[in-house]
Structure 1
Amino acid sequence: MLLVIPTFRRAALCCLLWSLAVLSFAQTKPFKVIAFYTAKADLAHISFVHEANRWFPQMAKKYHFTYDSTNNWKNLDTAFLKNYQVVLFLDTRPEDPDQRKAFEHYMKHGGAWMGFHFSAFALSPSAIPQNWDWYHNTFLGSGQYGSNTWRPTSAVLRVEDQHPTTRSLPRTFKASPNEWYRWQNDLRTNPDIRILLAIDSTSFPLGTGPKPNEIWHSGYYPVVWTNKNYRMIYVNMGHNDMDYEHKYDNTNRTLSHTFSNKEQDQFIINALLWLGRSK
């Protein structure tokens, strides 16, 4: 006899199964995470890095993984990376050719990575040019930076793919305030890319300006995605709102936080557990 389960019961069952899966992840052998950061430019990026380095150790205790962080990019070599199952780039990318080579080797041989916001930025010509083709075009798939919204504002995000990292999320949810990026390449045309979260049309107009091009009124903007050829996830979030009007008073006051949003926080934990536990 065919057993028919009512829709609401199926939804409850799915939530229960996902909770059990997360619990089983947390009970397996701990994995090790290393976060690289620079935290020298842009008050918002510095604020995010400090917030991340407070939040991730708390999550490490709760979900049973090890979290280390360093601003010494010279550690980005093959011998050092062998000690870690997941690498985070909190705000920047490596610039040294040997460090780039070591990271590419790490990713091509089973390593896992999560990058936030500015870690994907590149623009030619600028102080951070697009001079690393494997990283920006093959690995991330995004190419170089196109434009951004301003001022940092919340957006409604929409789940685009039923991936292990998104199955516990509602169809749409409101993200923390952020500076949202547009990219050179259309990720929808790349068969290697799975877009996980995108900006929902209910967010428009997005941004407050004052420049007209800093306010988005329409379009398709992916904000989280993974490359099927690697264990990786890029997350566009990572730019807190700051008291820019009084920055010269040395207050550097943070007006919003990235890790203060139930659904967004859950996604980041889902992603980290998926990267740390999956093969």
Structure 2
Amino acid sequence: MTIVPHPAAHRGGRRRPSADGLPSSHTVSIGRIPVPLGSGAAEGSGAPWQTNLPSCSPELLAATEAVVANARRAVFVSDPLLGPRLSQIGSLLASVVKRHGVLIELALKDCLERSGRYVVLRDVAMPITVTTQELVRTGTIDQLATTSMALTGPVAQTVKIDLIVIDRMLNRAFVAEVKRGGGKSEARKIHQVEWVLRCAQVQAIAFLGSMNFHVASARAVLIDLYGRAGYSPDLSVSGPAIDALFGVPVLHAVEAVTGLLAARLHADVPDLLELALASLEPLPGAPSP
């Protein structure tokens, strides 16, 4: 998640919040703040609902196949302690793990869209107003869950959201951040992500309305695939609960991508290790083998 300046912020700072900016039960006024769109925001509705789809699209599988090869071609800096060969292995492994997080997002988007039920926007820039921030600062979790704010008044910040998932069948939306969850995130990061998610949940109905996506409710979720990221229970969804959240077996796609990526990685690592071991020189004073 990144936070970037909003193009309306310099103008909004001289404007007073209107009465429409006060909390309401999903009664909003929209369209007054220019909305920067993410890479998926122009996508419309798809075909009717389908079942028994393959786990992944050819495009997603091709992207997965390319990860290890691209990581091997990447330029890396040799660490003085590790030397060039071990540095290459460390760089490759770190790159593949990072790219796995991106593939998880792409797998969720791919599977949900191909179900026909969902429209999925990825990497979306959402403006957060000053009034919304004040509400989140003072409101309770229960209050925030039933409150929607108008997209009016000064803009405090613009945030990038991993996925906005629009459920056409139930007329609702999920504002989602996606984490691998292999280990606990830093406390500062947890606080930042949770703050942004709660603000985005309150702002989401009006924001989506400005793009002509009209939903009755919005929920913020932290998709924690492996369940160890350490975020608040009211936001976190992990393991099989991810399938239950969407009513679509998305974990099959995630598992397929993960398995393919692991296979490609395991096929390449032995050769790299052999080269690394061959490049090692005995340390001064070390006993002979």
Same fold (TM over 0.5): no
Bigger Cα Rg: 2
Higher relative contact order (CA closer than 8 Å, sequence separation 6+)? 2
Q: What is the TM-score normalised by the length of structure 2?
A: 0.27
- Flag the structure with higher helix content: 2
